[in-house]
Amino acid sequence: MGVITQAVMVQAAIDVNSLDQAQKVRLADEIFVQQPNMLASVLALSRMGVSMVEMEVPLHILFVTFQAMKRSGHTWPIVSEDLQETCMQRLTARARFNEGLPGELADQVVQQFCDEHPERYLLAFVYGYLGDHELLRVRTDAEKYLLLAALNLVECVAFVGSATAP
C-alpha cells in the first residue's frame, strides 16, 4: 500500500479547493523549493500547446498532489528529472502495450493496474479530475501531453514514496 491514504487525499483536495489565488501562488513557491522538477514538468506544458485555461487542470492536480505529500507525514525526496523520464518511459510503454489488446482484456489490464497501484488514491483522484474536465479522451496533442504529465506525477510520487517507505 502507498504512503498517501484516502483520508489524506480527501483532506488535500479540500485544502487546495479552499485556497485563494494568493495562497495558490505561495503553494507554488513552496513546490518550487521542495519539488522543483514536478513544478517544471507542469509549467513546461505551456510550450507544448496547452493553453493557459487548460493549465489550470494540471496545476490543480500538482497542488493537490503536493498537499497530499505534505499531509502524509512522509519525508519525500526530490523527484529528479531522470526519474521523471524513467517513469514517463514506463507510462508510455504501458499505454502502447494496452493499445494492442482486445477491448475487454485492455479493460482488465487497466483495472488491475489501478487496483494494484502503490498510490491508488492519488491515481483515482487524478483520473477523476481529468475525467471531470473531459481530458481522458485525448482529442488533441496538447491534451495528450497534459494527460501524460498528470499521470507521470502519480508515477513519480509512487516511485519515490515506495523507494523511501520504511
Mean pLDDT of the chain: 91
pTM over 0.85, yes/no: yes
**pLDDT score of 105:** 78
Closest listed residue to residue 162, CA positions, set 100, 83, 101, 94:
83
pLDDT at 164 over 70: no
CA distance 91 to 152: 7
Amino acid residing at 103: G
22-31, 36-45, 86-95: which range is least confident on average?
86-95
Quick one: how far is CA 86 from the chain centroid? 15
Instruction: Place 116 in a pLDDT band, splitting at 50, 70 and 90.
Output: confident
Higher pLDDT among residues 5 and 2, named by residue? 5
CA distance 42 to 157: 14
**pLDDT score of 165:** 52
pLDDT at 103 over 80: no
Per-residue pLDDT tens for 45-86? 999 999 999 999 999 999 999 999 999 988 899 999 999 999
